[in-house]
A and B are shown apart, each in its own frame.
Chain A
């Protein structure tokens, strides 16, 4: 069994709140520099840039045969109808795309703001769909920061229907977390794990969430390059893959995980 470090919550330029520097090649370079074996690309309510980051990782590996390599997991950070954030990790980009299409269908369009309107800060952010080189190939017109039409239970069911793993994001945060929106973690939602934010993990808050019988992970939730890898999950696995993450979260066959 190997010990691999994963950052399972990284945004790209597709997320309205992410920095323009979060392009696929830059994310891959940064993750490799930080010694990560795996990252999961989890933009808000879309898996639109997942394939591009996977391809960027494949190109980086081709340039450096024998290098450590970076495995990119297809993911998405879904905003439930209650405005709680839930990470979906999927077996492959196609499964993520199918889940993404279901979420996207229920999102509102960006309300166009008039061009003689207020400051630049209030203009619609560019939700950039990019290729593996980071070149712009399209702009997402749906409002990715909006709540989806799926409740927490429905979101978890949707993720599972597409073969994915559902992890409640940044459980310790006072906004957009299941506890902030719903007061407490409903006992009947079949989540696969709970994420503790980087700040929460640094303050030792993980123990507050240990009583749910669910594995705890931590990730960076990075919107800026520098933040990639600031919080990580250590996985005891045979190798870097979605299937191994699933086994590690389930804690079976000698696999396991913990906050690194």
Chain B
């Protein structure tokens, strides 16, 4: 599914309407991965490239980490909203941000049901 279709199906509110669902070259690209974590060190280490990140972490660092990890978008769950500075930075960097009232668990369950998958099992 594309990011647009996912946002629509889940009823996500876009926080970066100026870039809608991302740069034009990625708007139609399929998103197949997702990652749920509030620890940005874990996101850096374990989030698959191209994934949607579900998090309640709204610190400015989430933008830099998402870009570094090559994520497709960040969805703030449980109604969390970042400061305007974070939102503006994401928009400038063309990183789509969304927010949803749903908890991380519920949003992740819906994404899984839609066919998205995570990083899989961690090797010991």
Contacts and interface: CB of A to CB of B under 8 A. Distances in A.
Interface of A: 82, 151-152, 174, 179-184, 186
A174 B65 CA distance: 17
B86 to A, nearest CB: 11
B44 A183 contact: yes
Contacts, number: 34
A182 B65 CA distance: 8
Interface of B: 38-41, 43-44, 57, 59-61, 64-65, 68
A174 B45 CA distance: 12
Q: Is the interface of B mostly helix, strand, loop or mixed?
A: helix
B60 A181 contact: no
Contacts of A179: 41
B41 A151 contact: no
B59 A180 contact: no
Given A174-B41, A182-B41, 19 more contacts: A82-B59, A151-B59, A152-B59, A180-B41, A181-B38, A181-B39, A181-B41, A181-B59, A182-B57, A182-B61, A183-B40, A183-B41, A183-B61, A183-B68, A184-B40, A184-B61, A184-B64, A186-B59, A186-B61
15 contacts: A82-B57, A179-B41, A180-B39, A181-B39, A181-B40, A181-B57, A182-B41, A183-B40, A183-B44, A183-B61, A183-B64, A183-B68, A184-B61, A186-B59, A186-B61
